Chains A and B, each alone.
Chain A
C-alpha cells in the first residue's frame, strides 16, 4: 500500500573512505507501526547484487540492531512512516554515478495468511 515510499529519496550516503560502506533510509509499507519481532527483514540489493543480511544493520529512533536480530526484539517498534536507517557493506566500491537500490521489507502480519511487506527500487546519483 505504500511500496513506492519504501526507499527514501536523497538518503543514500557513503560512510567510509573505501566507498564499501553506506547507508540508506527506508519506510515500512504498512498503515500502522509494528513490533520489530514481526519485521522479518529488509533485504537490500545494490546494482542488482544482493547484500548479505549479515552485512546490514537496522536503526530506528537511535536504536541499532543487527538485521539478523530483529526477530528477537520484543521491546521496540518501527513506527508508521518512520524512516529507518539501513547501514550496509558491499565488496566492490560504490563508484560515483548512478546506483540502483532495491529494498524488500518482509513483515509478519498476524491477520494475513500470506507474507506481508513490499518492495521498492530507486536510483541515486553518487558524487
Chain B
C-alpha cells in the first residue's frame, strides 16, 4: 500500500500531544438524529443542543436534511445556525454534499453541471463555517479534480467518503487517490466511514430480519459466514439456492455491503484524512459498539497523528423502529462516553 503514497507526504508516527489526552476531537453528525428529526420530535436546535450536551464540539450537518429550502439557504437561516454554534459552544465541523447526477429524468448531469453543483455546495459550506465537505462516494474523480481549485480558493477541503463496500485499495478509491496526490491534498482528501470496519454483523440488522419473518437457519448462515470473515461474494446466490425469499435475500445483500478491513489500512493515507464519520449501529452500553471495534480504531488515528473530528453517525434507527422506541440521543450519548474513555478524557459523562 505504501507505493500509492506520494513521496514527500509527511508522516506522523508519534501522536503530537505530550500528555495522555488525545488531540482527536469529538463531534456528531446530525444524521444521527434522523428518526426524531423526521418525525418532528426534535427540532434542529434540539439536535445542536444535544451534540453540545455530550461534550462534543463539532456539528456535522447535511444541509439537504436539516435546512429547508436548499439550495437557496437564506442569510437568516445562516445567522440562526451560526447563533446556535455560539450559544452551544460548537463549530460546524463539516457539511455533507450530494451529487444528483440523475437530477433530470432523461439525461445524466454534464461534467460542467456536476462541478457547478460542487461549487454551490462549497459556497454553502463557507457560509455555514465548515472547514471540510463530505463528497459523496458516487463523485467521479474528475469532478473532484476540477472542483478542487474552487475549494482551495475558498479555504475548504473536499473529502471523499470511503464508505463500505469501498476500501483503501479498491479501484474506485485508487483512482481518487491518484487525483488527490496530483492535487497535493490541499483542497482534496478523504473522509473514512467507520462502516468499513464492521467486525461483527450488526445484530440489530439480523434481529430485524427475523422479526420480518426470515428463516432463522438462513439468518444464522449469513451472520456466521460474515462473522467468520468468509467469502460473501456468492452469498446471495447461496441464499437463493437454499430457498431464501425477499427478506433473506435482503439480509444477504446487506452482508455483502458491510465490510471488515484492518483499520491500520488507513495509516498510509493519514495526511489525506480530514474528518471521520464514526458510523455505529448499536451501543450496547457506555463502552461497546456491538459491531465496530473502536478500541482498535482509535489507536490507529492516534498513531497517525489525526487531529480532526470523530463525528458520530448513528444508523441503527431504521433497524429497530418496527419494534422499539428509537432513542438516538441515548445512543449518541453512549458512543461519546466510549470515545471520552478511549481518548483519555477525564471528564465524566452524565448517565442516562
Contact = CB atoms under 8 A, between A and B. Distances in A.
B103 A110 contact: yes
A37 B318 contact: no
Contact of B38 (A27, A34, A74, A108): A27
A79 B103 CA distance: 16
Interface in B67-106: 68-70, 98-105
Given A1-B318, A31-B31, A31-B38, A108 B64 contact: no
Interface string A21-34: 00000010001111
What range describes how many residues of A lie at the interface? 20 to 34
Contacts of A79: 68
Interface of B: 31, 34, 37-40, 62, 64-66, 68-70, 98-105, 136-138, 317-318, 321-322
A37 B38 contact: no
Interface string A56-89: 0000000000000001101001011110000000
B39 A110 contact: no
Nearest to A82: B68
A5 B138 CA distance: 28
A33 B70 contact: yes
Given A1-B318, A2-B318, A37-B104, A110 B138 contact: yes
A26 B9 CA distance: 51
Contacts of B40: 81
B103 A38 contact: yes
Interface in A75-121: 77, 79-82, 108-111
A110 B100 contact: yes
B136 A77 contact: no
Contacts of B31: 31
A111 B103 contact: no
A72 B38 CA distance: 26
B38 A2 contact: yes
Contacts of A35: 100, 103
Nearest to A2: B38
B317 to A, nearest CB: 8
11 contacts: A4-B322, A5-B38, A31-B31, A31-B65, A81-B37, A81-B40, A82-B68, A108-B105, A109-B102, A110-B101, A110-B103
Contact of B65 (A2, A32, A38): A32
A111 B70 CA distance: 19
Minimum-distance CB pairs A-B, first 4: A111-B138, A81-B38, A1-B318, A32-B64
Contacts of B39: 5, 81
Contacts of B99: 110-111
A123 to B, nearest CB: 17
Contact of B102 (A5, A31, A38): A38
